């Protein structure tokens, strides 16, 4: 039932018409009609028949096929907007891009067999099914129901590679990997920030002893910080690496563009140009918006755009960026757990700054005593609020989501913690009053012990 509603809704807004094969005027209708015929035929399919499977975000139709053991023809049609596969227990794996229908041979064993979409997150989101025969054991049939029990504990692996420390210094405008500032190079005569951004899938140590299969912008988690000024044109050449397994996309919160144009998903090997003019100042999130969005964000596909006012921010010696996010640990060497992150009350295994739990506790960020420093802080979630606080300091200048607390204001008001819901950002200024250590945390205090704890070190870190 669910699939029909989703298909009808997508067809109504024209998405499927735009993304499906051009030479079939009604690919969705045709695929669904084939499935419908199958369902209305004999209750148990016989060898030699053709079995039609349809996949989309995120289900198979049918979820259950009753068939006698034997050899069949089969077709897998992807009517969704991202790549899917149908993978059977015997190892048969058929991949179909959006709008594609793939014919294949299928041997059904005596006891039947389950099938899933093997793309990370897709089975957890509902892409599971089974071929049932008369001999299928009852416990295997019931095993198709999604598990609701607790999650497995993932043990640390002493052999996991050490993590790569992320340099927290904020880049200057036009600075960073793949980023070029072309003065006067924009179509409107303004400055152009040119960004070459490849989306990759790789292994990364996200906490000591925990190596995960992450998805990235620019091969790092978080992706590169892109710094601009109001009025700049940002031209991003987005590449989905050909060796990747998944479709990906980009959503710049700093931009105002149509969701189904620049933000569309692209398959491995595809590229697109995402161009926008930065009209508003702020600390903006960017992220992959491909379904399931929560998994693509949580598995590493996020980053920060800093847009300064047209006249620029007052210069400051020390500027850093801090991005808070959650990690829902999957098995060692695999992606984060979609099942863990997608519950109503999520319990992340780690909450961390700039991609790795505790990295700035192990490697304190050095600042100068008594000098004002500037932090660009962003919470990318995907689901949990941050209360950003630095022990032993008071924030005297805060610009959060367009609201400004000014240093030296009448009454001398200050700020102790900046509340950032997922996708909110702020510029925070403060100073370390004396030599020593200043821990920074989210003041939601169940999380510093899970990784959201770093240190600012003023002077040599030793109080005088
Ligand atoms: Cu993605």
Question: How many angstroms separate the CA atoms of 22 and 99, rounded?
Answer: 9
> Do 284 and 254 form a contact (C-beta atoms < 8 A)?
yes
Least confident of 117-131, 135-149, 291-305: 135-149
Is residue 21 over pLDDT 50?
A: no
C-alpha 321 to ligand 1 mean position (Å): 23
Q: What pLDDT does residue 180 have? A: 98
Question: How many angstroms separate the CA atoms of 359 and 283, rounded?
Answer: 22
C-alpha 394 to ligand 1 mean position (Å): 37
C-alpha 189 to ligand 1 mean position (Å): 33
C-alpha 218 to ligand 1 mean position (Å): 12
C-alpha 163 to ligand 1 mean position (Å): 22
C-alpha 230 to ligand 1 mean position (Å): 27
Question: How many angstroms separate the CA atoms of 352 and 364, rounded?
Answer: 14
C-alpha 215 to ligand 1 mean position (Å): 7
C-alpha 460 to ligand 1 mean position (Å): 42
C-alpha 240 to ligand 1 mean position (Å): 9
Q: What pLDDT does residue 16 have? A: 36
Domain residue spans in the chain? 2-144, 179-458
C-alpha 216 to ligand 1 mean position (Å): 8
Q: How much is the average pLDDT of 31-36?
A: 69
C-alpha 405 to ligand 1 mean position (Å): 36
Q: pTM of the full predicted structure?
A: 0.80
Helices 2-12 & 27-40 angle (0-180, nearest 10)? 160
Q: What is the mean pLDDT of the chain?
A: 90
Q: How much is the average pLDDT of 100-129?
A: 92
C-alpha 290 to ligand 1 mean position (Å): 5
Query: What is the token pair recorded at 13?
Result: 């807004």
C-alpha 63 to ligand 1 mean position (Å): 26
Q: What pLDDT does residue 151 have? A: 78
Q: How much is the average pLDDT of 343-354?
A: 96
Is residue 418 over pLDDT 90?
A: yes
Distance between start and end Cα atoms, the chain: 70
Question: How many angstroms separate the CA atoms of 290 and 295, rounded?
Answer: 9
pLDDT tens per residue, range 323-336: 999 999 999 999 99
- Cross-sheet strand order for the sheet of 453-458: 365-367, 453-458, 436-442, 386-390, 418-420
Question: How many angstroms separate the CA atoms of 165 and 409, rounded?
Answer: 38
Is residue 145 over pLDDT 60?
A: no
Q: Residue 102 belongs to what H/E stretch?
A: strand 101-108
C-alpha 295 to ligand 1 mean position (Å): 8
CA distance to 20, 36, 60, 79, per residue, from 32 (Å): 14, 6, 11, 9
Chosen CATH of 179-458 out of 2.60.120.260, 3.40.50.2300, 3.40.50.2000, 2.60.40.420: 2.60.40.420
2-144: CATH superfamily: Cupredoxins -  blue copper proteins (2.60.40.420)
C-alpha 359 to ligand 1 mean position (Å): 25
C-alpha 245 to ligand 1 mean position (Å): 10
Cα-atom radius of gyration of the chain, to the nearest Å? Answer: 25
Number of H helices, E strands in the chain: 7, 29
C-alpha 234 to ligand 1 mean position (Å): 20
Taking ligand 1, which is a single-atom ion, which protein residues have CB atoms under 5 Å away?
248, 288, 290, 296, 301
Q: Do domains 2-144 and 179-458 have the same CATH topology?
A: yes
**Which of the four pLDDT bands, split at 50, 70 and 90, describes residue 23?**
low
CB neighbour class for 332 (10 Å; exposed up to 12, middle 13-18, buried from 19)? middle
C-alpha 268 to ligand 1 mean position (Å): 11
């Amino acid at each position: 039932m669910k699939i029909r509603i989703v298909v009808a809704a997508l067809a109504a807004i024209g998405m499927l018409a735009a993304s499906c094969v051009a030479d079939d005027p009604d690919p969705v209708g045709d695929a669904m009609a084939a499935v419908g015929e199958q369902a209305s035929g004999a209750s148990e399919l016989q060898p030699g028949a053709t079995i039609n499977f349809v996949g989309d975000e995120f289900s198979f139709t049918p979820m259950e096929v009753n068939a006698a053991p034997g050899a069949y023809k089969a077709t897998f049609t992807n009517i969704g907007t991202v790549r899917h596969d149908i993978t059977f227990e015997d190892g048969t794996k058929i991949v179909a891009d959006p709008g594609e229908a793939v014919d294949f041979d299928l041997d059904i064993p005596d006891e039947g067999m389950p099938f899933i979409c093997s793309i990370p997150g897709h089975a957890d989101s509902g892409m599971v099914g089974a071929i049932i025969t008369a001999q299928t054991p009852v416990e295997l049939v019931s095993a198709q129901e999604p598990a609701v029990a607790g999650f497995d504990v993932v043990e640390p692996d002493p052999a996991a590679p050490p993590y790569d420390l992320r340099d927290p210094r904020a880049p200057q405008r036009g600075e960073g990997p793949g980023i070029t500032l072309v003065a006067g190079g924009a179509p409107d005569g303004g400055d152009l920030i040119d960004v070459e951004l490849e989306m990759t899938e790789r292994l990364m140590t996200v906490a000591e002893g925990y190596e995960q299969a992450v998805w990235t912008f620019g091969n790092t988690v978080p992706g590169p910080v892109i710094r601009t000024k109001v009025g700049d044109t940002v031209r991003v050449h987005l590449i989905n690496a050909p060796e990747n397994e998944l479709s990906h996309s980009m959503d710049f919160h700093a931009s105002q563009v149509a969701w189904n144009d620049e933000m569309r998903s692209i398959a491995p090997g595809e590229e697109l140009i995402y161009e926008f003019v930065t009209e508003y100042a702020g600390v903006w999130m960017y992220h992959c918006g491909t379904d399931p969005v929560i998994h693509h964000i949580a598995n590493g596909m996020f980053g920060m755009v800093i847009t300064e006012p047209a006249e620029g921010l007052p210069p400051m010696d020390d500027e850093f960026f801090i991005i808070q996010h959650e990690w829902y640990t999957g098995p060692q060497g695999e992606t984060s757990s979609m099942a863990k992150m997608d519950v109503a009350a999520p319990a992340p295994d780690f909450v961390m700054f700039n991609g790795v739990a505790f990295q700035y506790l192990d490697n304190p960020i050095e600042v100068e005593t008594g000098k004002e420093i500037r932090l660009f802080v962003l919470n990318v979630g995907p689901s949990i609020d941050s209360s950003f606080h630095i022990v032993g300091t008071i924030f005297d200048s805060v610009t959060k989501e367009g609201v400004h607390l000014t240093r030296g204001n009448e009454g001398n008001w200050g700020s102790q913690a900046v509340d950032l819901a997922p996708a909110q950002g702020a510029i925070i200024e403060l100073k370390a009053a004396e030599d020593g250590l200043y821990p920074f945390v989210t003041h939601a205090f169940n999380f510093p012990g899970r990784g959201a704890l770093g240190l600012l070190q003023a002077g040599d870190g030793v109080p005088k």
